[in-house]
Amino acid sequence: MSNLLDLVVAGLATGAIYALIAVGFTLLWQASQTINFAQGEFVMLPAFLMLAVMHAGAPFWLAILAGIVLSMLLLGLGFKMLLVDPMLRHGVLPLAIATMALAVGIKEAVKKFFGAEASPFPSIVPAGDIAIFGRMVSLQSIGVLVVAILAVIGLTFLLNRTAIGRQMQATAQNPAAARIVGIPVERMILLTFLINGFLVALASLLVTPIYLAKFSSGEALGQAAFIAAIVGGFNQVRGAIAGGLLIGVADNLAAAYVSTQYRAAVPMILLIVIILFRPQGLLGRAEERTV
């Protein structure tokens, strides 16, 4: 039983990171029908940007700041202007393929300029354990959970309680109608891309101390995020968060109780079952009924 609790806490921590990535993924889909197959690489890259700034002699906090800003510029603004805008009118599939090519490009660029070796990455939370209700829980897991929860609360607040957030939601639901009532649709879409840039940088900051900075680590992260987004419900932020947590916990429990060899299979089977029996995702259908 005690072992189970540890597994669940660690799973929630990983799941919270998946949730951040998945939220960005669903936001892009809602705002501009972009299925970003490079989302995993988007998470891998900011850690290297931060490492590069640190190599230049900057302190860690400055590197974090610079990494986030660079990520928003490159992976938010740059991605939108150079790739999404010219391709969007051609439909979903060519754009999705272009993001696959982008994933290859980012991976190779990192491998070439930063090397193929995994590099260690400093953690924002000190290592060690902390006693909670008489149980030892790793500080890192707690720290990741706290930061991720704060980010999600902040994002939910932005989306639901502020004028900008409501305009963003209106843009996602019906761009034409949003334009008619005077919402600056273009600016809202740009904002969505910037938020995605911020979220992937944050996820990068949280996940890299655990898995090290490596050019190939984006693949698994991207896949986990796709699955989280689909399992929870492709069309809403809440679903992506629930899906991320679920996948994180399921993955961890599967490793312990099913088999380490087939741990990757459990989220996949979950995905297939959900798509076949509940294509809107776990939370999607429920909302449809209440509205």
Q: Where along the sequence are the contacts to another protein (CB under 8 A)?
A: 35, 37, 83, 86-87, 90-94, 96-98, 100-102, 104-105, 108-109, 111-112, 219, 223, 226-227, 230, 234, 261-262, 264-265, 268-269, 271-272, 275-276, 279
φ/ψ of residue 129, rounded to 5: -115, 160
Closest approach, Cβ 209 to another protein, in A, equals 26
At residue 260, the 3 state secondary structure works out as coil
Q: Which of 108/186 has CB closer to another protein?
A: 108
Separation of alpha carbons 224 and 65, rounded Å: 26
Closest approach, Cβ 266 to another protein, in A, equals 10
Measured in residues, the chain has a length of 291
Q: Which of 140/235 has CB closer to another protein?
A: 235
By the 8 A CB rule, do 28 and 193 touch? yes
Closest approach, Cβ 216 to another protein, in A, equals 10
The closest of 221, 243, 246 to 230, measured between CA atoms, is 243
Closest approach, Cβ 137 to another protein, in A, equals 31
Instruction: Compute CA distances 96 → 87, 91, 138, 153, whole Å.
Output: 10, 9, 38, 30
Closest approach, Cβ 235 to another protein, in A, equals 12
Separation of alpha carbons 273 and 247, rounded Å: 14
Please give the distance of CA 225 from its chain centroid, rounded to a whole number.
6
Q: Which of 3/261 has CB closer to another protein?
A: 261
Q: Which long-range contacts (CB under 8 A, 24 or more apart) does 106-112 make?
A: 106/38, 106/41, 106/42, 106/44, 106/45, 106/218, 107/41, 107/44, 107/215, 107/216, 107/218, 108/215, 110/44, 110/45, 110/48, 110/215, 111/215
Region at 232 (left for phi over 0; alpha for psi -120 to 50; beta for the rest): alpha
Q: Which of 177/258 has CB closer to another protein?
A: 258
Closest approach, Cβ 230 to another protein, in A, equals 6
Q: Which of 13/23 has CB closer to another protein?
A: 23
Closest approach, Cβ 105 to another protein, in A, equals 3
Closest approach, Cβ 42 to another protein, in A, equals 15
Q: Which of 76/281 has CB closer to another protein?
A: 281
Separation of alpha carbons 164 and 31, rounded Å: 14
Separation of alpha carbons 121 and 119, rounded Å: 6
Q: Which of 150/268 has CB closer to another protein?
A: 268
Q: Which of 4/97 has CB closer to another protein?
A: 97
At residue 162, the 3 state secondary structure works out as coil
